[in-house]
Structure 1
Amino acid sequence: MATTTNSNLTVTTISLTMAELGPLNPLPVIAAELDQPYTVGEGVSEELQASARYGVVPNIYPYLMQDGYSREAAPREVPAVVLENSKLKVTVLPSLGGRIWELFDKATGKQLLHTHDAPQVANIALRKAWFAGGLEWNIGTRGHSPTSCDPLHTAIVHTPDGKHILRMWEFERLREVVFQVDLWLPEDSAVLFAAVRLRNPNGHDVPMYWWSNAAIPETDRTRVIAPADEAYGSDYTTDITRVRPTSHEGYDGTWLVNSPHAADFFFDIDPSERRWVVAADDDGDGLAMLSTGLLRGKKLFVWGQGPGGKRWQEWLSPGAGPYAEIQAGLAQTQFEHLVMPAGEQWAWVEAYGNGHLDPDTSHGTDWDSAVAHAGERLEQLLPHEELEAMLPTAIADADVPPSPMLLHGNGWGVVERARRLRTGRAWIDEGGTPFVDESVTAEQEPWLGLLQGKAFDGAPGFVGGADWEELLARQDSPGAKLHLATMRHARQDLEGAKLAYSEVLATDARPGTKALAHRGLGLALLAGGQDAAGRAELRKGVDSDPSNAALLTEAITLSIRHGDPAMALELSASAPKEGTGVGRLRFLRALALARTGHSGEAAAILREGIEIPDLREGEDALAALWQEVCPGETVPAAYQFGMH
């Protein structure tokens, strides 16, 4: 992306110091293990409880995990698009999930978003890889989006009425829908506009989830305001319940620095009220999030002031200072999915700018006055009727063909179009969001070949669906049988999966194919409570493909979890001594040592120091193991990641 300028929109690059994402984890995500930390407590409506039960998925198949990163950062140039006028300068990163990375208010000289030049990739998203800062788009299911660190299809759009729009879009594979985000910044506008459109081309309803998450700077005097007295709250250890944010557990949680631990507040905004949330620092400056009516939910998230929360912020944004998040979503809370009807499209407009509140009122003790004042200021910033009136034009603009293309996303949209054309199923009008053949890679090519009647013996990427299973069932190769087993396993047909895995193992499959079949069979057996047989299959998988570090790491992890730390210890002896996964492998060896009665050796490994690049959000295993093998000794700050 060379530096080019078109009116108030510049295509360029910015320099960021960050680790490379590294290779995808080759293991298909098939087990029923998607983390769902929320449970719904008493006092929550049946309607909300029903939507919390609806749409839950066992895993994020067919996506592969992104865990090949390290914490070895280096400067690199990242594609960027800058939208700028007399009041705002906005920087967008299309190759990293389309994130709005900077929203700079020229009048005050302040960044309204938490941003920095050294984002650290960490295990926070549904596919693990994620980085803190900016404003991100989340779709699919609860969690940071599968597209968090992926390039999106990106282009510039010139509308008939003279707007210059930055458009980003992608085919979301979990729900099989298409999403797009159109960004534009009118001349002299004090707010950036984002029009989002979701399209469900399927002949059936799909559970839908969308949240736009903005990281904001946390100062000692930052307060977040929304037009609600109550919220649905959770601190990641208790049930979701109705709470009053201004008097929660003895403190006013609308002040970012008051929360002792990580907490969520989903504001219960009356349907008759305008939906907004705004942050205000000591001067009354801060990000305002406004939206048209469809984007119902508004939320505040804080890491909290405990050692774990502080450690996480330093882990994610080294040296960049603390931050919190304000968010806007389709549902009232993030543990819900909404029913998106077959063939439906949903669209809304969001707006972002500086709320410019009066700090005396916004920081006063009278919450009602603070809310009323913020509402008045935001009405001055962008009248509600004016924002709502933008929606029909935004919907019309969404189909204007883009020119020129700036960046290609992945090639799965091309595969999906071909799949649907083959079976006569409906697909979207691609006029405004083309999926081009140039985006197809080795991940997708074998699947396009299968649709065209070519022989199929495996692929590095995975797909799901009854029509794919029918096509694979007509193939007799080991690779086809493995993918068929994988699809069955991912949808939790464990008996069908075990049968297909056994068929693979009865062939002269390649070592890598045989290893994945042993692994899949092992996971299916473990899921059915057959621990010894399951562990044996995992071991055979490692023996079949000793070079597969992901396979080895998983086998060690599961052998400990399923009662055989001695097997884990034996397997760990062959673990690589360098590479991105060494930190976790060293921890697993220490854990296996502790479980086999060798606490001293485990303690020695911990004292030498362990850094796990893909440590999961809230994972407190390092601290727990330290307390076990080093009793009475204070847990080092570097090992304190507990969120409560």
Structure 2
Amino acid sequence: MVIVTRIRREVLTLPAAESGPDNPLPPLRLQDEIHRVDERDREDLPRDMARRLGHEPLRSLLPVRLRDGYGRTRTPREFDALVIENDRLRATVLPGLGGRVVSLVHLAAGRELLYRNPVFQPANLALSGAWYAGGIEWNIGATGHTTLSCAPLHAARVPAPDGGEMLRLWEWERLRDLPFQVDLWLPDGSDFLYAGVRVRNPHEHPVPGYWWSNTAVPEDRRIVAPAEHAWEFGPERRLHRVPVPDHGAQPPYSADWFYDIPDGRRRWIAALDADGHGLVQTSTDELRGRKQFVWGSGPGGRRWQEWLCGPGTGGYREIQAGLTRTQLEHVRLEAESEVCWLEAYGPLPAASPENVEERLELALPRGELDAAHAAWKPYADTEPGEPLAIGSGWGALEVLRADWKLPGTPFPEATLTEEQAPWRELLRTGTLPEPRRVRPPGPTLVAPHWRDMLETAPATPHTEYHLGIAQWHAGDRAQAVRSWERALPLAPSLWPLLRCLAVADQENGQHERAAERYADAFDDLCRERRDDGETWTAACAALGREAVEALLRVRRTADARAVWEALLPAIRERGRFRLLEAELLLAEGRPAAARAVFDAGFEVADLREGSDALGRLWARLADEPLPARYDFRMRPQGL
């Protein structure tokens, strides 16, 4: 009996860490990003690649906030899931976590095609912090994992080209101010999950574009793509062309291989087990690039896998598909334009590395995929039917501002929330309202049109604070400092302004003044704090950490200790602050006490990918090898 394709709701229960609150301090600096190529190394690259490597790389995380409030204590938690199923495949999607396809089961063989993470554990790998491993994720914005990794997307039922149903996911990507959609459907009797993707630029000016679909597969898979060479980005952090690595390659340290697929060849990548079964991903030609990522066989790579998925769960590697040859490039989306393509994910039975393309052509001919893409395009504008999940209100605010018509991806005013309320008031009246109660400032909008509105609004301290952040984002740092300084004399709350000025001092190399401002800002926050609720605790933790680090940098250990002692005990117990305590103890001339912190054990929940903070501090405390629990090193010593 043929099962008609259907979409249904389900509850998925996983051991899960709490996501926690966002960091309330505006991210005036980018987090460290390891995927960068030195300008001197671009001279040996193809011209089009070198040009795209330099095309408007991300210089600010604003207006997005850091997501660093998660921990590492996992308890059973229920997640709303949406399941798409026919008689051949079953796909499970988490609309509240970036629209991730966490499972794709080939029902005929009873085989999971993806790496299915048995836990939900955020870690600091996304552009904005929180990210989790496993499944198929949709990366838009800039080089790296999307800021939407752990964010809700809008979702709804939509008619599919074959008369069935599609699951539409859509949101407003805030780094580049672009709406996008992913339409998922399973044609009746099909062995392939289709994903129709569209990214639109509604602006009257060009915008940098970026997209990579990222799929986790079991680590023991052999990876095959239609290329003889690849662009390798390894621990030395240089991009160079090499022969395609062995299908099951696992170097000591993490590596990216961007397959150099010849023009005219079909775009695909496959992950096969020892018997030749596995997953194949293919697409129309618009999605040009293919990539493989491995954590590596060394202790750092093994530790990262355990960190993300739990001990004894087996490792994973990633296969990816993107708009450019490498993940380090961005494309130019022309004004009022769009780019769209169709992807397909499905099983590949009994293939060898040599005959994957032949098997793929039998299972899903290239012409059939192109025809499905053409058939889908008119349906991309179809208005969604039954809503299945609600995303953010930021898209609704932008549509309200510009009166954009975006068929197929509605952003209704009903989705506006308290976060957007002051900006809607600015749009309506030309005045940014003062907060109704004492609390950490809300998010800042920084796009040129919002900055223009802030510049013409009445110059209250609250408005000057937000204006300064928008000016900082635009690169006008001197004017940003002037806006923050103008706000100080009349501001009822000093610490947000002092913290911004302290960051500006650090960027200008004035570390003594930065430390002084940080100390004053933290004192003011402690006086102003109204309770020990989530928002105030997040503000104290974020500002306290920055203040201690700034004071230690200029060797003001007594002042750093005073800030440390003023932190809530629950904050001081966190792994990030245990590491900070060890640094403070060492600065105080107490190496044995600092070593005791390591011996007692701690976990830095928001350890950044590529960070060597643990190893560097350990080297100052001991001559012994770095204990395995702290070894997240992704590069050999000396690099």
What's the TM-score, normalizing by structure 1? Answer: 0.91
Matches within 5 A, 1:127-276: 127-159=128-160, 161-219=162-220, 222-246=221-245, 252=246, 254-256=247-249, 258-276=250-268
Q: Secondary structure at the match of 1:398?
A: helix
Distance 2:572 2:129 in 1: 14
**CA deviation string 1:588-633 (max 9, x = no partner):** 12113223432112111111111111111122221222222022x2
Q: Cα RMSD (Å) of the superposition?
A: 1.8
The one-letter code of the counterpart of 1:49 is A
Aligned equivalents of 1:161 and 1:331: distance in 2?
Answer: 30
Give the direction of change, closer, same or farther, for the CA distance of 1:43–1:464 in structure 2 (3 Å limit). Answer: same
Match of 1:435 among 411, 418, 423: 411
Kindly report which structure 2 residues correspond to 1:37-48, keeping only aligned pairs within 5 A, or say none: 37-39=35-37, 41=41, 43-48=44-49
Equivalent of 1:278 in 260, 264, 270:
270
Q: Distance in 1 between matches of 2:479 and 2:31?
A: 19
Q: 1: distance between equivalents of 2:547 and 2:72?
A: 24
Match of 1:322 among 306, 315, 331: 315
Q: Does 2:111 match 1:122?
A: no
Residue 460 in structure 1 maps to residue 442 in structure 2 = yes
Q: Distance in 1 between matches of 2:243 and 2:500?
A: 47
Aligned length: 610
TM-score by length of 2: 0.92
Q: Which deviates more from structure 2 when the two are superposed, residues 560-569 or residues 200-209? A: 560-569
Structure 1 residues 392 and 582, CA, compared in 2 at 3 Å: closer, same or farther?
same
- 614, 617, 628: which one aligns with 1:637: 628
Structure 1 residues 604 and 34: CA distance shift in structure 2, 3 A: closer
Which amino acid is the alignment partner of residue 352 of structure 1? Y
Distance 1:296 1:519 in 2: 43
Provide the rounded CA distance (Å) in 2 between the counterparts of 1:501 and 1:97: 35
- Are the counterparts in 2 of residues 43 and 242 from structure 1 also a CA contact under 8 Å? no
* 2:427 alignment counterpart: 451
SS at match of 1:573: helix
The answer to whether residue 452 in structure 2 is matched with residue 476 in structure 1 is no
Q: CA deviation at 1:205?
A: 0.7
2:533 counterpart residue number: none
Structure 1 gaps of 5+ residues are 247-251, 363-369, 422-426
The alpha carbon displacement at 1:566 in A equals 5.3
2:341 counterpart of 1:341: no
Alignment deviations for residues 534-584 of structure 1 (CA, whole Å, 9 cap, x no partner): 221111111110252211112223334566555434422222221497211
Inter-CA distance 129–32: structure 2 relative to 1 (3 Å threshold): closer
* 1:249 paired residue number: none
Q: Partner residue of 1:490?
A: 473
Does the CA-based 8 Å contact 1:566-1:592 persist in structure 2?
Answer: no
Cα separation, 2, equivalents of 1:563 and 1:333? 43
Say whether 1:397 aligns with 2:379: yes
2:504 and 2:78 mapped to 1: Cα distance? 43
Q: Partners in 2 of 1:70 and 1:300 — Cα distance? A: 29
Q: Give the Å deviation of 1:528.
A: 1.0
Q: Could you tell me how far apart the structure 1 residues matched to 2:473 and 2:550 are?
A: 18
The residue type equivalent to 1:460 in the other structure is: G
Amino acid at match of 1:553: R
Q: 1:329 to 1:156 in 2, by over 3 A?
A: same
206-215 vs 563-572, greater mean Cα deviation: 563-572
* Counterparts of 1:562 and 1:419, CA distance in 2: 46
Give 1:122 shift. Answer: 0.8
Task: Check whether the contact 1:456–1:475 (CA below 8 A) recurs between aligned residues.
Answer: no
Unaligned runs of 5+ in 2: 436-440, 530-539
Q: 1:567 to 1:236 in 2, by over 3 A?
A: farther
SS at match of 2:566: coil
In percent, how many aligned pairs have the same letter? 40
User: CA separation in 2, counterparts of 1:114 and 1:32?
Assistant: 30
**C-alpha offsets along residues 307-338 of structure 1, whole Å, 9 cap, x if unaligned?**
00000000000032100000000011011000
Q: Report the secondary structure of 1:506's partner residue.
A: helix
Shift of 1:31: 2.4
Distance in 1 of aligned mates of 2:4 and 2:28: 46
Tell me the distance in 2 between the aligned counterparts of 1:65 and 1:622: 21
Q: Deviations over 1:189-208 (max 9, x none)?
A: 01100000000001111111
- Aligned-partner residue type, residue 19 of structure 2: L
What aligned pairs does 1:101-120 form with structure 2 within 5 A after superposition? 101-120=102-121
In structure 1, the residue matched to 2:391 is: 409
Instruction: Report the Cα distance in structure 2 between the residues aligned to 1:555 and 1:206, rounded to whole angstroms.
Output: 36
**Counterpart of 1:380?**
362
SS in 2 for 1:452: helix
